[in-house]
Amino acid sequence: MIQQRALAHPFHISVLDIYFKPAQKVLQVEGKVFMDDLADAIKADTGFEIDYDQPLPKQLIEAYLEKHVIFSVNGKAKPFNFVGMETEDGAIWIYWSVEKVKPKAKVKVSNTLFIRLFSDQQNLVNLTDPQGVRSERLTQGNQVAVFELRNQ
Structural domain contains residue 7: no
CB atoms within 10 A of CB 123: 28
Q: Are 58 and 44 in contact (CB under 8 A)?
A: no
Structural domain contains residue 3: no
Structural domain contains residue 131: yes
How far is the C-alpha of 137 from the C-alpha of 50, rounded, in Å? Answer: 28
Domain hosting 20: range is: 13-148
Structural domain contains residue 90: yes
- Would you say residue 5 has pLDDT above 50? no
Q: What is the pLDDT of residue 152?
A: 66
Mean pLDDT for the chain overall:
91
Three-class SS of residue 118? coil
Instruction: Quote helix, strand, coil % in the chain, to nearest 5.
Output: 15, 45, 40
Structural domain contains residue 54: yes
Structural domain contains residue 4: no
Q: Are 30 and 80 in contact (CB under 8 A)?
A: no
Structural domain contains residue 103: yes
- Dihedrals φ, ψ of 55, to 5°? -60, 150
Q: Are 91 and 33 in contact (CB under 8 A)?
A: yes
Instruction: Pick the closest to residue 140 from 126, 125, 119 (CA basis).
Output: 119
Its pTM stands at 0.90
What is the number of structural domains in the chain? 1
| pLDDT tens track for 72-129 | 999 999 999 999 999 888 899 999 999 999 999 999 999 999 999 999 999 999 999 9
| pLDDT tens track for 52-87 | 778 878 899 999 999 999 999 999 999 999 999 998
- Would you say residue 4 has pLDDT above 60? no
Q: What is the pLDDT of residue 57?
A: 87
The CATH number assigned to the domain holding 101 equals 2.60.40
Structural domain contains residue 118: yes
| pLDDT tens track for 6-62 | 456 778 999 999 999 999 999 999 999 999 999 999 999 999 998 877 887 889 999
Q: Are 120 and 11 in contact (CB under 8 A)?
A: yes
